[in-house]
Structures are given as structure tokens and as C-alpha cells.
Amino acid sequence: MSDETKRTAGPAIYAVDPWVPGKPRVRHQLLSDDERALLAKIASIVRFNKGEHIYRDGDAADAVFNIISGVVITYHALAAGEHVTSFLYQGDLFGLSEEGHYSNAARAATSVVAYKIPLPALRRILDNNADLDVDLIVKLCEDLRGAQRHALLLAQKRAATKLAMFLELQEHLQLARGEPSLEIFLPMDRSSIAAYLGLTLAALSRAFRTLVSKQIISSRNRHHIKILDRNVLNRLADARSNET
Amino acid sequence: MSDETKRTAGPAIYAVDPWVPGKPRVRHQLLSDDERALLAKIASIVRFNKGEHIYRDGDAADAVFNIISGVVITYHALAAGEHVTSFLYQGDLFGLSEEGHYSNAARAATSVVAYKIPLPALRRILDNNADLDVDLIVKLCEDLRGAQRHALLLAQKRAATKLAMFLELQEHLQLARGEPSLEIFLPMDRSSIAAYLGLTLAALSRAFRTLVSKQIISSRNRHHIKILDRNVLNRLADARSNET
DNA sequence: CGTTGATTTGACCCTAATCAACTTAGGTGG
DNA sequence: CCACCTAAGTTGATTAGGGTCAAATCAACG
């Protein structure tokens, strides 16, 4: 991954093959160097501080974003709290809109650097590059699978199961990004994870404690988790067996 | 809708504009008459009895399906039960696969008549019709929104809230299909609804009873629901206010 | 080194899961 | 058309797990 990134500058969209638990796969760059150069010309680089909003639900959508570094959270604001729909990492594309308005909000979970690609210019390029259509389809398929996996996670009844699935997902993504994976790095804070898992902060905290006390995981600190017993974690996450 | 259907035979793919609660919208046909005729040539018509499998998770994917009539359930089989991902109606397209294998299972919830479109032929047509690419993108966007809405539903903590959201969704879809909507028709059985909502059968049953006893809905029979108090139902479903 | 927000923990309550008995709705065969 | 059978759904009793609220820690930052 880093090779490719270094050779060419400009927006990068990566696709990871769909995740079948247990099969580590590598992600590949969707855009050709030419395409990236083309996009780079119309893109500007923007920065956001941790916690800063990139856009809010309902804002007029004038651009899409492509993450260079940092982590972005997309979410819906509800009176009952937030519903986090995804965590986005380097290479992820976000901000696709509907009828000119963003349909969710996006916020920087860490400090973020991203390409900002104005919509009109993007549209012009898309019209002239049939190949990018295919890329868009691949990207949408990936998002769709992500959303379905999220739904599967949310359908789980036990907090520990949700957390186990989440940890395995994060580890998988980390691996696919080519990062070292001796331990799982969770850049986002607890409340965002809770909002992603459909749990309260307290329930999530207890779920962590449960896994730690059963020696299934250990945590160096709040953002660094190590898997001690992969078998048990797997059994918890796989929704195929039950155990306390 | 029925006009269009009558005028031209052949596969029909409808797209409903994204659902913003409260705004009823109509869906429109994505395919031109020419496209439908083209697809009709390579499609065959297949029938399934209620409960029959259309394909199973992991089966070699050789075709996609387009529903002419009836209701299809897509789901994942888990040891802990089934996870229902969607209910599909007339005009819906399903069976898009990944690497030549279906990634979920599909089963007829009622007796079903559908077009079966062989994959190789479809691919040939797609290659020659750039327009269909766009249709595919629209379709994927819709599926994506559906999955995200499902996730939002599953993230709700109270059973009555989930049921309220489900009922409003069904009513909306029914309206969009142009069917009479004095009452909501739920063709699928309770266990499928429960599996879609991430509830047990018992919990779902109780949620129904709660809404009925509070005069929020009434049911002529297990498949026909009428909304009595739309305001309260809305407040329950909107995840913006809380009440018992 | 103190202040503030983030996280953990505890006590208690409430809802949904469980398990099981019971009822209903559909089909079947006479 | 009816009695019977079975699968589907409902209801009850009980329990476990997560929500809620509040107090206690912890950690980052100035």
C-alpha cells in the first residue's frame, strides 16, 4: 500500500475484498495513476482538528472527501444520542450526497488531513471517464457490505458479542491497511464505539472489562488492545456458538 | 406504476427516492422500454412456492432475479437463528453476487414469480449499455440506504420503537408501490419480522400487543395492521422523543 | 499540579431473553 | 364441510443483561 501511495500523489481509493472472517486479504488501489493525477488537479487539501465537523446532516453538499490521514466518523444525530454509521480511514472516500445535501454528519475522530474534491469538477471528470463509473460501483458495493455487516453486528443481543465482532473487524481493517497488527489500535473514543455498537457507554465499558477479565483481550491503554485468546474471541464473534 | 408495467413486458427495476420520514414519494422505473425488452430476451420466468429457497448462501451465482410478484426474504443463517437483511417486493432486483457466489440466502415469503436473468448474458448487455451502469449505481445507492436504515432500526433499544419504525417503513414502501394504504399489509410471518428487527418472537409479539393495547395500532388479523394514532407511532419511531 | 472531560464502576431497575405451556391459523384427508 | 394435525404465534413466569443515574477515577492539557 505505501509503495503505491508514495509513487503517485493525489486521491487514493482503496477497496478491500469483502471480509470473510478468517481470510486476511489485501486491499488494492482502485484508481490508476492517471486518474489520481486528474483528481489531484481539482482537489484541495484540507485539515480538521480532532472533534471538528467536516459537514453536518443537511448541509449543502459541494464536495466529496478522500482521507489522507486520520480517522473520520460519520453519524446521525438523534435526540437519544448519536448513531455512528462508520469509521473511515486513510484512502476512504466520503461525502457522497443525495440531492445536493449530505445525508449524515462527519466529524474528525483524530486530526485529519483530506483531499476535498469539488462536486462540479468531479462530475465533469466522471462524465469523461467511463472507468471511474466502475470504481464507483465497486466503492458502493463495499459500502453496502459494510452497512450490512454493521446491521449484523447491531442485531447481536449480547454486548460482549458486539464488541468481539467490532474488535475483529478493526483488526481486519488494520491488517488490510498494511499496519502492524500485534495489537489493535482504536483511535476513536469510547462513546463513538458505543454509538457504533448500539450500546451505552456503561455497557461498553463493562463489555471491555468482561473480555479483559476472561483473558480474552488485554489493553495497554484505552486505545491499544491485544488479543490474547483468538479462539474464544472468534467463538464469541462468530454468532455460531454461545458461551458466557 | 401499473400503467408502465402493462405497457411493456420485461424486467422492471424501480427506485424510490430516499425515505425521509413524512415525505411520501413515488418511485420511478429505472429502465427504459428498450432496456426492458433487451433484458426480457435473456430472462426466463421462474416460480417459487412459499418457503422455497431461491438460492442459499455460498451457492454458485449464475443469475440475478427481478421480482414480478410475491415477496422474497434475504437472510443469513446463523446458529443463533436467522438474520433477515431485507424484504423484497415487485420490481426489486436481487442476487447480485460476489466472486461468483451468493453472499446471502433468499427464500420466498409468499409464492413468488420472478425473472431470472443469467449472469453471462447480463454482463454482455451491461458492457454495451453505459446507461445501465448508472441504473446499477442508483440501485446500489438505494440498497445502501436501505441497509443503513436497517442498522439505524437495529440500534434502537426498545422493542416498541423498532416495531414502530418497521411499520412506518412498510407503510411508506406500500405507498410508494402505489398500493392502497388504509392498512399495512405484512405478508411475511412474525418470525421473519422478528429476525429483521433483531428481536425474539416473544418480544415481537409483546411489542405488537403493547401498541395495540395503547390504541396506537389495531390488527384485523396477523397480516393486516391499521395505524390508529399516527402521532404517537411517529414519536415512538422517530427516536427523537421517549415515552412508554 | 489543577481543571475538565472521558471513562469506569456501583446500585438499582426495567426490558427483553428464556423456557415452557397454551392457543390459533392453516393445511390435510376424510 | 368438518375433524384433525402441525406449525406459527401468544402468553406467563422467571432470569439475565443492559439501561439509568450518580459517584469515583483517570487522563489529557494547560
Facing residues of A217 across strands?
A: A227
Among the residue ranges A33-47, A73-87, A177-191, the one predicted with the least confidence is A33-47
Of all protein residues, which has its CA closest to the C1' atom of C19? B202
The answer to whether some atom of strand D lies closer than 7 Å to the beta carbon of B108 is no
- What H or E segment, with its residue span, contains residue A148? helix A130-154
Q: Phi and psi dihedrals of A171, rounded to 5?
A: -65, -45
Give the chain B residue whose CA is nearest to the CA of A141: B140
- Cell numbers for A242: 454461545
Q: How many CB atoms lie within 10 A of CB B1?
A: 17
The arithmetic mean of pLDDT across residues A160-170, rounded, is: 98
C-alpha dist (Å) from residue A29 to A111, B36, B158:
24, 35, 42
Facing residues of A218 across strands?
A: A226
* pLDDT tens readout for residues B140-198: 999 999 999 999 999 999 999 999 999 999 999 999 999 988 999 999 999 999 999 99
Taking a C-beta distance cutoff of 8 angstroms, is the pair A117, A11 a contact?
A: yes
Output the pLDDT for position B239: 63
Is it the case that residue A90 has pLDDT exceeding 90? yes
CA atoms of A175 and A171, how far apart (whole Å): 6
* pLDDT tens readout for residues B42-65: 999 999 999 999 999 999 999 999
The arithmetic mean of pLDDT across residues B70-96, rounded, is: 95
CA atoms of A44 and B159, how far apart (whole Å): 46
The arithmetic mean of pLDDT across residues A167-188, rounded, is: 94
Output the pLDDT for position B129: 81
Output the pLDDT for position A26: 66
Rg of chain A on CA atoms, in Å: 18
Is it the case that residue B242 has pLDDT exceeding 50? no
Q: Which amino acid is at A28?
A: H
Residue B183, Cβ density class (10 Å: 0-12 exposed, 13-18 middle, ≥19 buried)? middle
Q: Out of B18, B147, B242, name the one closest to residue A151 (CB).
A: B147
Is it the case that residue A142 has pLDDT exceeding 60? yes
Output the pLDDT for position A67: 96
CB contact (8 A) between residue A83 and residue B18: no
Output the pLDDT for position A3: 43
Output the pLDDT for position B238: 83
Question: Strand C contacts (CB < 7 A) among B residues 160-219?
Answer: 160, 198-200, 202-203, 206-207
Is it the case that residue A8 has pLDDT exceeding 60? yes
Determine the distance in angstroms separating the CA of A200 from the nearest CA of chain B, rounded to an integer. Answer: 10
The arithmetic mean of pLDDT across residues B128-148, rounded, is: 88
The arithmetic mean of pLDDT across residues B126-150, rounded, is: 88
The answer to whether some atom of strand D lies closer than 7 Å to the beta carbon of B110 is no
Output the pLDDT for position B16: 65
- Cell numbers for B135: 441504473
CA atoms of A23 and A19, how far apart (whole Å): 7
Is it the case that residue B237 has pLDDT exceeding 70? yes
Can you tell me whether residue A38 is helix, strand or coil? Answer: helix
CB contact (8 A) between residue B136 and residue A137: yes
Question: Strand D contacts (CB < 7 A) among A residues 9-28?
Answer: none
Q: Which amino acid is at B55?
A: Y
Determine the distance in angstroms separating the CA of A223 from the nearest CA of chain B, rounded to an integer. Answer: 24
Give the residue, B130 or A16, on which the prediction is more confident: B130
Q: In the A/B pair of chains, how many CB contacts fall below 8 A?
A: 83
Output the pLDDT for position A242: 38
Taking a C-beta distance cutoff of 8 angstroms, is the pair B2, B35 a contact?
A: no
CA atoms of B244 and B232, how far apart (whole Å): 10
Percent of chain B with pLDDT over 70: 90
CB contact (8 A) between residue A98 and residue B18: yes
Is it the case that residue A113 has pLDDT exceeding 60? yes
Is it the case that residue A4 has pLDDT exceeding 70? no
Query: Chain B, 92-151: which have a CB under 8 Å from a chain A CB?
Result: 98, 103, 130, 133-134, 136-137, 140-141, 143-145, 147-148, 150-151
Percent of chain A with pLDDT over 70: 90
Interface probe, candidates B102, B127, B137, B148, chain A, greatest A C-beta count within 10 A: B148
Interface probe, candidates A78, A148, A153, chain B, greatest B C-beta count within 10 A: A148
Is it the case that residue A7 has pLDDT exceeding 80? no
SS3 of chain B: CHHHHHHCCCCCCEEECCCCCCCCCCEEECCCHHHHHHHHHHCEEEEECCCCEEECCCCECCEEEEEEECCEEEEEEECCEEEEEEEECCCCEECCCECCECCCEEEECCCEEEEEEEHHHHHHHHHHCHHHHHHHHHHHHHHHHHHHHHHHHHCCCCHHHHHHHHHHHHHHHHHHCCCCCCCEECCCCHHHHHHHHCCCHHHHHHHHHHHHHCCCEEEEECCEEEECCHHHHHHHHCCCCCCC
Query: Quick one: which of B14, B120, B109, B110 has its CA closest to B63?
Result: B120
Mean of the per-residue pLDDT values of chain B: 88
CA atoms of A101 and A59, how far apart (whole Å): 5
Q: Phi and psi dihedrals of B227, rounded to 5?
A: -90, 120
Give the residue, A106 or A99, on which the prediction is more confident: A106
CA atoms of A114 and A13, how far apart (whole Å): 12
Q: Out of A137, A141, A154, name the one closest to residue B155 (CB).
A: A154
Output the pLDDT for position B137: 87
Determine the distance in angstroms separating the CA of B208 from the nearest CA of chain A, rounded to an integer. Answer: 19
Facing residues of A116 across strands?
A: A44, A65
Output the pLDDT for position B6: 45
Q: Out of A134, A198, A242, name the one closest to residue B155 (CB).
A: A198
Taking a C-beta distance cutoff of 8 angstroms, is the pair A93, A146 a contact?
A: no
Output the pLDDT for position B83: 97
> From its phi and psi, is residue B151 left (phi > 0), alpha (psi between -120 and 50) or beta?
alpha
Give the chain B residue whose CA is nearest to the CA of A142: B144
- Cell numbers for A10: 493525489
Sign of CA dihedral A97, A101, A103, A105: positive
The answer to whether some atom of strand C lies closer than 7 Å to the beta carbon of A208 is yes
The arithmetic mean of pLDDT across residues A97-121, rounded, is: 92
Query: Chain B, 166-225: which have a CB under 8 Å from a chain A CB?
Result: 198
